[in-house]
Structure 1
Amino acid sequence: MKDSPKIELHLHLEGGAPPALIRGMAREKSVDLSGIFRPDGGYAYRDFWHFLSVYEAATSVLQTPEDYARLTTAVLEESAANGVVYCETFLSPDFCGGGDIGAWREYLTAIREAADAVERAHAITLRGIITCIRHFGPERARPIARCAADTAGDWLVGFGMAGDELKGQPGDFRWAFDCAREAGLRITVHAGEWGGAASVRAALDQLAPERIGHGVQAIEDPALVDRLAEDGIVLECCPGSNVVLGVFKDWPSHPIERLRARGVKVTVSTDDPPFFGITMASDYENLTRHFGWDDAIFADVNRTALDAAFCDPATKKIIAKRLGETQA
Structure 2
Amino acid sequence: MAKAELHCHIEGATPPALALAQAERYGIDTSRFIRDGQYAWEDFTSFVESYDATANLFRTEEDYALLAETYLTGIAEDGAIYSELIVSPDQGDAVGIGADAYISGLAEGAQRAKVKTGIETRFLVVGIRHFGPERVVKAAEYAARRPHPLVTGFNLAGEERMHRVADFARAFDIARDAGLGITIHAGELSGAFSVRDALDHVRPSRISHGVRAIQDGDLVKRLADEGVVLEACPGSNVALKVFPDFQSHPLRALHAAGVRVTLNSDDPPFFHTSLAREYEVAASIMGFSDAEILGMTRTAIEAAFVDAPTRQRLLSAL
Secondary structure class of the residue paired with 1:94: helix
CA apart distance, 1:98? 4.4
The answer for the alignment partner of 2:15 in structure 1 is 18
| Cα distance between partner residues in 2 of 1:232 and 1:196 | 20
2:195 maps to what in 1?
A: 200
**CA distance in 2 between partners of 1:106 and 1:153 (Å):** 11
Q: Is 1:50 aligned to residue 46 of structure 2? A: yes
Distance (Å, rounded) in 2 between the aligned partners of 1:178 and 1:217: 25
Structure 2 counterpart of 1:33, from 10, 30, 33: 30
Query: TM-score w.r.t. structure 1 length?
Result: 0.93
> SS of the residue aligned with 2:184?
strand
CA distance in 2, matches of 1:282, 1:98: 32
Post-superposition offset of 1:154: 4.0
Give deviations 1:196-225, integer Å, cap 9, x for gaps.
101111111111111000000000000100
Q: Match of 2:186?
A: 191
SS at match of 2:98: helix
Displacement of 1:152? 5.8
Structure 1 residue 250 corresponds to structure 2 residue 257: no
- How far residue 96 of structure 1 moved from its aligned partner, in angstroms, is 1.5
Question: Do the aligned partners of 1:158 and 1:185 also contact (CA within 8 Å) in 2?
Answer: yes
Which amino acid in the other structure matches residue 261 of structure 1?
Answer: A
- The reply on whether 1:65 has 2:61 as its aligned counterpart is yes
* Letter of the 1:115 counterpart: A
Which amino acid is the alignment partner of residue 57 of structure 2?
A: V
1:138 & 1:98 partners in 2: Cα distance?
18
Q: Report 1:127-276 matches (<5 A).
A: 127-151=122-146, 154-276=149-271
* Structure 1 SS opposite 2:153: strand
SS of residue matched to 1:63:
coil
Residue type matched to 1:50 in 2? Answer: S
What is the aligned residue count? 318
- The Cα of 1:298 is off from its aligned counterpart by 1.2
3-state SS in 1 of match to 2:152: strand
- 1:101-126 superposed Cα distances (whole Å, 9 cap, x missing partner): x9322222221122111111111111
Mapped partners of 2:145, 2:130: distance in 1 = 23
- Give 1:174 shift: 1.8
- Given that 1:13 and 1:91 are in contact with CA atoms closer than 8 Å, whether structure 2 keeps it comes out as yes
Partner SS for 1:34: coil
Q: TM-score, normalised by structure 2?
A: 0.96
CA–CA distance in structure 1, aligned partners of residues 280 and 111 of structure 2 = 29
Mapped partners of 1:182, 1:154: distance in 2? 17
1:88 aligns to what? Answer: 84
Amino acid at match of 2:137: R
Q: Which of 2, 5, 9 lines up with 1:5 in the alignment?
A: 2
Are 1:112 and 2:111 counterparts? no
CA distance in 2, matches of 1:125, 1:293: 26
**Does structure 1 retain, via aligned residues, the 8 Å contact 2:103–2:148?**
no
In structure 2, distance between residues paired with 1:232 and 1:218: 14
Distance 1:169 1:93 in 2: 22
Identity fraction in percent: 44
**Paired residues of 1:93 and 1:99 also in contact (CA < 8 A):** no
Which stretch shifts more, 153-162 or 210-219?
153-162
Instruction: Quote the RMSD (CA, aligned, Å).
Output: 1.5
* Uncovered stretches (5+) of structure 2, i.e. residues with no partner: none
Aligned mates of 1:31, 1:22 — CA distance in 2: 10
Structure 1 residue matching 2:127: 3-state secondary structure? strand
Contact kept in structure 1, 2:91 and 2:99, CA below 8 Å: no
Contact 1:11 1:89 in 2 (8 A): yes
Judge which range, 168-177 or 256-265, deviates more.
168-177
Is contact 2:232–2:263 with CA below 8 Å preserved after alignment? Answer: yes
Which amino acid counterpart does residue 27 of structure 1 have in structure 2? E
